[in-house]
Amino acid sequence: MMPAPVTALFQSLTRQASGGRPSTQHTAGPAADAIARLGVGMIITAAIVFAVVMVLLVWPIIRGGSTSEDAPRVIDERRWEFRWIVVGGALVPMLILAGVFVFSLGIMRADGVPSSPYEVEVIGHQWWWEVRYPANGFVTANEIHIPVGRPVRIHLRSADVIHSFWVPQLQGKTDAITGQVNETWLQANRPGVYRGECAEFCGLQHAHMSFVVVADAQGDYDAWVANQVRPAAVPTDSSALMGQKVFLSQSCSYCHTVRGTPAGARVGPDLTHLASRRTLGAGALDNSRGNLAAWIENPDRLKPGTKMPPVPLDGATLQALVAYLETLR
Amino acid sequence: MSSTAERLTAIWEPPRSVYSWFATVDHKRIGMRYLVVSFFFLALGGLDAAFMRMQLARPESHLLTPEAYDQLFTMHGTTMIFWYASPMLSGFGNYLVPLMIGSRDMAFPRLNAFSFWTYLLSGMIHYIGITRGIAPHAGWFAYAPLTSSAYSPGYNTEFYTLALLFLAISTTAGAINFIATILTMRAPGMSLNRMPLMMWSTLTTSASIVMSLPALTAALVFLELDRRYGFHFYDPVRGGAPLLWQHLFWLFGHPWVYIIILPATGMVSMMLPTFSRRRIIGYDFVAMATVSTGLIGFGVWAHHMFATGIPHLAEGFFSAASMTVSIPSAVQIFAWLATLWAARRVERTTSMLFIVGFIVLFVIGGISGVMVASVPFDWQAHDTYFVVAHLHYVLIGMNLFPVIAAFYYWLPKMTGRMLDERLGRWNFWIMFIGMNITFFPMHILGLRGMPRRIYTYPGGLGWDRLNLIETWGAYLFALGVLLFIINVVRSQFSGAAAGSNPWKAAGLEWSVSSPPPPYNFVVIPTVASRDPLWDGHNEVGHPREERLLDESKETLGTSVLDAEPDRRLPMPEDTLLPLLLAVAITIVFLGLLFRSMLLGGGGLVAALLLTAGWMWPSNDREVTT
Amino acid sequence: MSGVIAPTDALPPGAGRLPTFGRRSRAPGWWGMVLFCATEVTLFLYFIGSWLYLRGTVTSFGAEGGHHPALGIPLTLTALLVSSSITLRWGERAIRRGDTGRLTAGLVATLVLGAAFLALQAVEYAKQEHVPQADAYWSAFYTITGFHGAHVLLGWLMLAFTLLRHTRGHFTAERHLAVENTALYWHMVDVVWIMIVSALYLAPWLW
């Protein structure tokens, strides 16, 4: 729709190197591409309208004019009303708006959820995202993998309050509403990691309710699915084994699932392949050994208000638990 | 001549005393109080924002806890929208409407005093929470079920719900008062099509309040019943629906946007022709545009809900309606532009500068409004800083800027002192530049994916620098507001005397002294055109004629369409009843808040008895109606 | 300009004095009551709109959507309220001619019918098997009818107050705005009830 140099100019104005930055302008999928083009078109139209109105506004103010004469100019008011108000104030805006409306409607209609064999269920929780792959029978959190170039249908629900599911580089947002299933879809046309966010205020940690969408080439995607489908491996080294005992005997298993062990609670995120994920606490921290230990010790310090309680453990026990969690690849 | 004025002063001006301070029913004193109190709330809301900008200046900031931040942005929003924007305009309306239509007071002076006291007391209830760190924390539109007792236990949301229910009483009473005043008390000859344009916007706004505020009341009643008594309106598990809240809230909320900008555009339509030294071009168009904005405003609410999964067909409808509503705004803007072009010379007063600034910001806010009315664009922009930018251009641009312009214009009428023009210029440019530095980058931040209402953000997402710039812009803006306050305070000590008509304006309010006498007009004026002071119509009042009304506290009632003199309207004396009734209702709400049957029941009985006393004709006067 | 009073004194004092009751227009107080009624009716429209919204979007609303409320009591209530509006209108017309006796009779009859309405509404509540906490249907049912009941009570108190003023001889053929306004409010409450009966009681039998 827009000539390429114009688009490039606009992108340079909102410069924000890609690489996981959640820009609505550096898009990577057909849905967001179309909206970005619409946005650029509207911004250019807006700039022209703004410039014209500014000229019309500022000129009579700065031009000075006769100072002595106090009686108003004699003009044909009917004619002025017609030219300025009927044409300038009503007809021209109507034409512009009709154009904007028609373009918008076209893009809106094109953005219907396509049929696709790939379906993911996403459930918003205070303050993390549960991600289910029903066809493959596994559950993960805060990380959605999709195959490049394929549309993926997303079924959105909420476990508590209203959230909004948003991956700016791929698609506009759709709310996850209590008691209702909404549908949207994602498609990435190049491999990459795309930041997603909760966009509807949902309480204390609304700010830390991000996730990533990882678009993999088909082979990588299949491999990732194959790994996620497997239950957790039985730990081999003694420290990890001890850590597993801690996990099952302490409060961890009241809330979390690790498939392949008796832990099957669904309150918190499924940890079966925790170590394969990029972040902890829905984007609050990078997933590193140190962060993991600090998180378990006192999650509230790192993400005030989080629903996970602190787990008081002595140093050795904590190290063992972390060692176990690190095996969940 | 002097004897008539003296007689009227004796009738209308009670001796100044503590009693008269609490008991006054004078629309000018009440209007002034509205202006002062709502400016105070503007400062409070601004303070909330200053803390928020401090927190957001840098990524990963820990200045504020998330709970504190949530309370601040909620209080900022509710304060500005409910306790500043609309009451500020009520203040101007209260002061100016009777003067502009040639009346001696509002239709219901006691109800007017009651509106003010309930406004003040509801604001105090709203702010109880923040003194204990338990202020409302779910945002100004407070979506269910985040506000339910499960996710928001404790008092926080109670302050929001009850204070707003309380404020609704004040706002509704005020709106009814404005409509009755404008319809029945215009000076003889001021037929509907000769009313000052501000009367059209005040009428439209008041009618919108009457029809839209009940939606908020319904939503809040449901919420309170859910929270307190275990009802299930918003509970999907038991047959309720969270989206019911959103429909009701925005059915109220979008008309409310026009409620807080239309009176401001009405004020601009009064001021701009004065500085253009000619009458406005397109009076009929502006009047009709005002009314149609109010009407269409009722058909756009779901554009706040494009991401909720409502059907595409409905989205298309609401998108079209939302774009349509910008056309009457464009009509108004082009009427102003035409008037400026038809002028021989535009006087560049501070007031006029703020009007120019208002039009600039109006155009930007209007354009970004059209953009978010586009459904697919809104899927990206919704709930981001793009929307934050848009709504601040609308609210600051279309409410605060005209309000400051109106202060420069009408404060001399109210106090008799001119504001300083040199300081005014500094005031304007600092506010205008500060405003744009603060809010323009928010458009870009929104397009860069920054959601609103996050208490902190990670660095490196392309948000850091813009946020820092915005924070500096916000402080610059605050400095501009401070200059305004300084200018107002200084004018009271060293401002030039205003005289009755410093701007050589056309409206009736400029025909009386500054400040106006307590009875406003010695003789109720007659009007022969839309611009009474410019039309050369020189009138002489007859000492025994029906417009003199100097035998008791009275003003003139006229017919609705043609404003023909029809009846004397006896006006009430000062009384404590409005204050007492407001206090009784405050006690009812405190009873609800703290779950005390004693307080609630006692307050209710007291309120009923006081209302009965109010309605009972005072003994020393005949029953008049 | 408006401060200028001519020095002539040709007219006798009070020659131009208008009455306090208008001949051509309605009093500000009448507009006040009309607007108050308008905002009240709007509130009930939003209530009923919410009811219809839940009925239309939530499948489980109203005991799996199949609840058919009994109509005997609500139709009797309707008859009571409509006839009370008629008796009030009858009394109100009388005072325009200065017939104070018939106004008394009209007010008393309306008060009796209003009290009967409130009593029967209490019976209707007692007969329900559900509490408002049962589900959203019952929450809405009790909220809407309860709010209406409170308005009937308020209207009833206004009528009683008007009757009290009437016994003090406040009202004449020309001065009876309080009677008109109370009647306006009472008719408004009546109209709202008809909307409520249609939406809450009759609609389930029709669709």
pLDDT digits (tens, 9 = 90+) for B165-197: 999 999 999 999 999 999 999 999 999 999 999
Q: Pick the residue from chain B with its C-alpha nearest to C137.
A: B239
A109/B380 Cβ within 8 A: no
Window B:204-263, CB contacts with A under 8 Å: 236-237, 241-243
Residue B355's pLDDT band, with cuts at 50, 70 and 90, is: very high
- Taking only the tens place, the pLDDT of each residue in B194-208 is 999 999 999 999 999
- How far off is chain C from B113, nearest CA to CA, in Å? 16
| Closest Cβ–Cβ partner in C12, C26, C61 for B544 | C12
Tally of CB atoms within 10 A around A21: 18
CB distance from C32 to chain B under 8 Å? yes
Closest residue in chain B to residue C179, using alpha carbons only: B625
- Please give the helix or strand (H or E) that residue B273 lies within, else none: helix B262-276
Average pLDDT for B283-311: 95
Establish if B449 touches chain C: CB-CB under 8 angstroms.
Answer: no
Hey, are the CB atoms on A162 and B382 less than 8 Å from each other? no
Residues B533-555, mean pLDDT to the nearest whole number: 79
CB pairs under 8 A between B and C: 232
CB spacing of C2 vs B623 below 8 angstroms: no
Reading the block at residue A224, the tokens are: 């990732």
* pLDDT at B217 (0 to 100): 98
- Six-digit token string for A9: 């100019």
Set of chain A residues whose Cβ sits within 8 Å of the Cβ of B338: 80-81, 83-85, 88
The reply to whether residue B345 touches residue A201, judged by beta carbons under 8 angstroms, is: no
- To which H or E segment does residue A43 belong? helix A30-62
Give contacts of B 547-566 with C, CB under 8 A.
547-548, 551, 556-560, 564-566
Q: Is B81 on the interface with C (CB under 8 A)?
A: no
Q: Say what the pLDDT of residue C81 is.
A: 97
Residue B317 has pLDDT above 70, yes or no: yes
Q: Two tokens at C118?
A: 């409130």
Determine whether the interchain pair C170/B623 forms a contact, defined as Cβ–Cβ distance below 8 Å: yes
Largest CA distance in chain C: 82
Band (pLDDT 50/70/90 cuts) for residue B423 is very high
Say if B523 is an interface residue toward chain C (CB within 8 Å): yes
Query: Residue C80 in contact with residue C117, Cβ under 8 Å?
Result: yes
B254-265 pLDDT tens trace: 999 999 999 999
Least confident of A6-15, B376-385, C117-126, C129-138: A6-15
Chain A neighbours (≥3 Cβ pairs under 8 A) are B
3-state helix, strand, coil in chain B (%, to 5): 65, 5, 30
Say which amino acid occupies B222. Answer: F
Across the interface, whether the CB atoms of B244 and C3 are under 8 A apart is answered no
B114-161 per-position pLDDT tens digit: 999 999 999 999 999 998 999 999 999 999 999 999 999 999 999 999
pLDDT greater than 50 at residue A17: no
Q: Which residue of B has its CA nearest to A202?
A: B146
The residues with which C207 forms a beta bridge, in sequence order, are none
Q: At A16, is the pLDDT very low, low, confident or very high (cuts 50, 70, 90)?
A: very low
**What percent of chain B stands above pLDDT 90?**
91
> Which stretches of chain C drop beneath a pLDDT of 50?
1-3, 7-10
pLDDT of residue B181: 98
Compute the nearest-CA separation of A316 from chain B (Å). 31
Chain-chain contact of B229 with C132 (C-beta, under 8 angstroms): yes
DSSP one-letter string for A215-274: EE-HHHHHHHHHHHHSPPPPP-SHHHHHHHHHHHHSTHHHH-B-TTSS-B--SS---TTG
Please give the average per-residue pLDDT across B16-21, as a whole number: 92
Please report the pLDDT score of residue B119 as a whole number: 98
- Reported as a single tens digit per residue, the pLDDT across B60-93 is 999 999 999 999 999 999 999 999 999 999 999 9
The values of phi and psi at residue B399, to 5°, are: -115, -60
Closest CA to B268 of B100, B102, B403: B403
- What confidence score (pLDDT) does residue C206 get? 83
Whether A152 and A119 have beta carbons less than 8 Å apart is answered as yes
Give the pLDDT band of residue A15 (cuts 50, 70, 90): very low
Taken as a whole, chain C contains a residue count of: 207
Considering only CB atoms, which chain C residues are within 8 Å of B567? 18-23, 25, 27
Q: H or E element: which one contains A167?
A: strand A163-167
Measured CA to CA, the distance from residue A235 to residue A324 in angstroms comes to 7
Helix axes B109-131, B156-184, angle to 10 degrees: 160
Cross-chain Cβ contact C32/B542 below 8 Å: no
Closest Cα in chain B, distance from residue C34 (Å): 9
Compute the average pLDDT of residues A106-133: 94
Of how many residues is chain B composed? 625
Q: What is the pLDDT of residue B419?
A: 97
| pLDDT band (50, 70, 90) for residue B422 | very high
- Label residue A111 by pLDDT band (50, 70, 90): confident
When CB atoms are compared, the residue of B215, B232, B543 closest to C6 is B543
Task: Establish if B63 touches chain A: CB-CB under 8 angstroms.
Answer: no
- Quick one: tokens of B479? 């400095």
Residue whose structure tokens are 């007031």: B351
Instruction: For residue A293, give every residue at least 6 positions away whose Cβ sits within 8 Å of its Cβ, in sequence order, or none.
Output: A318, A319, A322
CB C47 to CB B218 under 8 A? yes
B425 touches chain A (CB under 8 A): no
Distance from the Cα of B69 to chain C's closest Cα (Å) equals 33
Q: pLDDT-derived band of residue B3, with 50, 70 and 90 as boundaries?
A: confident
Q: Does B120 touch chain C (CB under 8 A)?
A: no
**Hey, is B557 helix, strand or coil?**
strand
Rounded distance, CA B344 to CA A65, Å?
6
* Cα dihedral B76→B80→B82→B83 (10° resolution): 100
What strands lie across the sheet with A182-186, from one edge to the other?
Answer: A138-141, A128-133, A119-125, A152-158, A182-186
Judged by CB atoms within 8 Å, which residues 67-126 of C form the interface with B? none
How far apart (Å, rounded) are the C-alpha atoms in residues B552 and B555?
A: 9
Mutation for testing the B interface, residue in C9, C35, C51, C182 having most B CBs under 10 Å: C35
Best residue in B146, B444, B456 for a mutation probing chain A (most A CBs within 10 Å): B146
The DSSP bridge partners found for residue A131 are A122, A140
Residue A134: asked if its preceding bond is cis (omega within 30°), the reply is no
Q: Is C65 left (phi over 0), alpha (psi -120 to 50) or beta?
A: left
Specify the pLDDT at position B1: 45
Considering only the beta carbons, identify the residue of A69, A83, A100 that sits closest to B374.
A100
- Asked if A81 and B138 come within 8 Å (Cβ–Cβ), the reply is no
Q: Contact A199/B384, CB-based, under 8 Å? A: yes
For C132, the closest chain B residue by CA position comes to: B231
Judged by CB atoms within 8 Å, which residues 381-400 of B form the interface with C? none
Positive/negative CA dihedral, B625, C2, C4, C10: negative
Quickly count: other Cβ atoms within 10 Å of residue B463's Cβ.
24
Which of A108, A156, A171 to mutate to probe the B interface, most B CBs <10 Å? A108
Chain B residues in contact with C13 (beta carbon < 8 A): 544
Interchain CB contact of B134 with A (< 8 Å): no
Complex ipTM: 0.95
- Which chains does B contact via 3+ CB–CB distances below 8 A? A, C
Contacts of A11 in chain B (CB under 8 A): none
Interchain CB contact of C195 with B (< 8 Å): no
Judging contacts by C-beta atoms under 8 Å, the chain B residues touching residue A88 are: 330, 334, 337-338
For residue A171, the cross-strand partners are A167
Cα separation, B211 vs C70, in Å, equals 33
CB-nearest partner of A164 from B335, B383, B462: B383
Please provide the average confidence, as pLDDT, over all residues in chain B.
94
* pLDDT confidence bin for B15, thresholds 50/70/90: confident
Tell me: the pLDDT tens digits for A202-260? Answer: 999 999 999 999 999 999 999 999 999 999 989 989 999 999 999 999 889 999 999 99
Closest to C52 measured CA to CA, from C136, C150, C149, C148: C136
Radius of gyration of chain A (CA): 27
| Chain A residues inside the 8 Å CB shell of B505 | none
* Cα angle, residue C11 at apex, residues C10 and C14 outer, rounded to 5°: 150
- Cβ–Cβ contact B602 with C under 8 A: no
Chain B closest-CA separation from residue A89 CA (Å): 4
Structure tokens at B620: 């020393």
